[in-house]
Structure 1
Amino acid sequence: MIQTKQYSISKKEYTKIILLKRLKKSWWLYLSMLVLGLFHFQQFGEDSFSTFFSIFAFAYPLITFTYLYFWTNSKGHKPIFSKTDLSFDNDYLYFKRNDNETKLNPNSIQKVISNPDYWMLYISKGQFIYVPKHIFYTENDFDTFSNLINDNQ
């Protein structure tokens, strides 16, 4: 069994990940809202619909990202920021956090997103496990883990 260094995700990093995911998923919505808001801005103050729509179009992205910021930093997400121990072998990934251990079969990982600093292991459509790339003691451990999660995709 291969052990890794203990890790945790910071509130700042978690918020950044969630905001970027939302932006990548709905960029077209925010862009169209801003374009339509600019279009209706010409009649701002003259027409009540155009006034409302202009305010809504410019406020919607700001309100959405403000909501997501406070949602990611809420008390309900406190366990996410706890120290996590990861160990793995050829059959399972073991995550230990707050004296609770979770055993995960690599075949149950639906999708892996690799960034330069971390992996996001999706175990369902809206639930992912954050694994930083700097937690491995050796390059061999890193390669073994990378092969393990990517071979099952």
Structure 2
Amino acid sequence: MIQTKDYSISKKEYTKIVLYKRLKKSWWLYLLMFSLGIFYSQKFGEDSFSTFFTIFAFSYPFLIFISIYFWTNSKGHKPLFSETNLSFDNEHLYFKRNGNETKLNPKSIQKVISNTEYWLLYISKGQFIYIPKNIFNSKEDYRTFLALIKTE
């Protein structure tokens, strides 16, 4: 069994990941709202619909980002930010957090997204496990983990 260093994700990093994923998925909607805001801004003040829609179109992206910020920093996500220990063998990943251990079969990982500093292991469409790349004690442990999750 291979042990890694303990790690945790900060609220700032988690918020950044969620905001980036949202922006990547819905960039076209924000561009559309901005474009419509510019279009209706020419009629701003002439009628109540144009005034409302202009204000709404320009404030919509900011309202979404603010709501995501407060959602990611809510008390319900507090366990995500606690210290986690990852250990693994040739068949399973074991996560220890707050005295609880979770066993994960690598076959249940639907998608792996690799970043320069971390991996996101998706176990369902909207649920991922954050694993930083600097938690391994040796290059051999790192390669074994890569083979286990079958990436790169």
TM-score normalised per structure 2 = 0.98
Q: Name the structure 1 match of 2:142.
A: 142
Which structure 1 segments of 5+ residues have no match? Answer: none
> What are the superposed Cα offsets for residues 88-135 of structure 1, whole Å, 9 maximum, x if unpaired?
011000000000000000000000000000000000111000000000
**Cα displacement (A) at 1:48:** 1.4
Q: CA RMSD in A?
A: 0.7
Equivalent runs, 1:15-54 vs 2, <5 Å: 15-54=15-54
CA-to-partner distance for each residue in 1:15-45, whole Å, 9 max, x for gaps? 0000001000000000110001000000000
- Superposition pairs for residues 72-87 of structure 1, below 5 Å? 72-87=72-87
Distance 2:32 2:142 in 1: 42
- Aligned counterparts, 1:2-151, within 5 A: 2-150=2-150
User: How far apart are the structure 1 equivalents of 2:8 and 2:68?
Assistant: 20
**Aligned partners of 2:60 and 2:147: how far apart in 1?**
42
Detail structure 1 runs of 4+ shifted over 3 Å in the superposition. none
C-alpha deviation, 1:69, in angstroms: 0.3
Give 1:86's aligned amino acid: L
Gaps of 5+ in 2: none
SS at match of 2:5: coil
Residues paired across the two proteins, number:
151
Normalising by structure 1, we get a TM-score of 0.97
